[in-house]
Structure 1
Amino acid sequence: MGHGAGGDLSDEEWTRLEPHLPANRGRGGRARHRSDEALGRSRGGLTCKIHLAGEGGRRPLGFVVTPGQRGDAPQMIPVLEEIRVPRQADGRPRTRPDHVGGHKAYSSRRNRRHLRRRQIKHTIPEPRDQRANRRRRGSQGGKPTGFDKTIYRRRDEVERTVNRLENFRAIATRYDKRAYVFHGTVTVAAIRLWLRPG
């Protein structure tokens, strides 16, 4: 996701990061189940994901850490709920972006319904299987989703935010075993990105 530092939430974008992790082993050398610690099995082995909302200047706004095998679409709303942009005047922080753009992995009827209910414009491509399912249902499948290729090109801004986070070795490799410690590591890295000029 994306928006400006001055409280202007205009162009939000989404992405995910999947660092590969060394196996965490318990006594006897057997791998322990760690989904409660945001560790889980995926094709890359024992991994985790960082679902990230970022503004156009390659700085994170909010994130959620999940096990590697968790689906992406259910994480969109929790990440949106992490965004808090203070207003220059007094008042509650701003939590609703003007526009959300994201990877097709975040496409779901539930997410689109949530964005429409909150009156948030969005640019999220519809995967081929969802498009075929909608057509198969006919008039009950709903209207085709709008998609603006020009706006979608800005999604690379959040990819670059992820790349900047991956420059921190502690995030790229995740040595932290506990989820709350890793969450703190990502938070510190995000603060450093906000403090860096440019």
Structure 2
Amino acid sequence: MAGARSRGPDACRPSTRPALGPAAVLADRAYSSRAIRRHLRRRGISAVIPQPSDQIRHRLRRGRRGGRPPGFDTEAYKQRNTVERCINRLKQWRGLATRCDKLALAYQAALHLAAILKWVRR
């Protein structure tokens, strides 16, 4: 997570904070650690990550010391499903699924071609 950077509007220096408005990270249960949530919170990014059942049980077992549950936006999390299905459709191309291209440019070209063909077929 610490290596994530985005280009700001001035394109001079990579930014670690969202450029426009409130941003959110939609992630799987595997990314529900306190360290990741703290990292995102420091950068002004809201985390839409469901809590695994073992973390919920642990928090409840600790009582008041367990703290309150993290916020979770179910409507925003539904958008993650749409993105996941799109990626899975694109991965039907063997070259995209295995990432066998040596150059990032060739991989990106194959990704664009697969997306165009999927779009045209609909």
TM surpasses 0.5:
yes
2:79 paired residue among 154, 159, 162: 154
Do the aligned partners of residues 90 and 108 (structure 1) sit closer, same or farther apart at CA in structure 2, a change above 3 Å counting?
closer
User: Which of the pair is proportionally richer in helix?
Assistant: 2
The Cα shift of 1:105 comes to: 1.9
**1:92 aligned to 8, 13, 33, which one?**
13
Letter in 2 for 1:142: G
In structure 1, what is the Cα distance between the partners aligned to 2:37 and 2:64? 18
**1:99 is paired with a residue of what secondary structure?**
strand
TM-score norm. by structure 2 comes to 0.69
Higher relative contact order (CA 8 A, sep 6+): 1
Q: Give the equivalent residue in structure 2 for 1:22.
A: none
Identity, in percent, stands at 41
Tell me the SS of whatever aligns to 1:130: helix
- Point out where structure 2 has 5 or more consecutive residues left out of the alignment: none
TM-score normalized by the length of structure 1: 0.46
How far the C-alpha of 1:155 sits from its partner, in A, is 0.8
Question: How many aligned positions are there?
Answer: 112
**Please, which runs of 5 or more residues in structure 1 have no aligned partner?**
1-76
Aligned residue runs from structure 1 range 96-175, under 5 A:
96-97=17-18, 98-172=23-97, 174=98
Cα distance change on mapping 1:186 and 1:145 into 2, 3 Å: farther
Task: Answer yes or no: is the 8 Å Cα contact 1:135–1:141 preserved in 2.
Answer: yes
Query: In the aligned structure 2, how far is the partner of 1:121 from the partner of 1:175?
Result: 31
Answer whether contact 2:7 2:14 (CA < 8 A) is retained.
Answer: yes
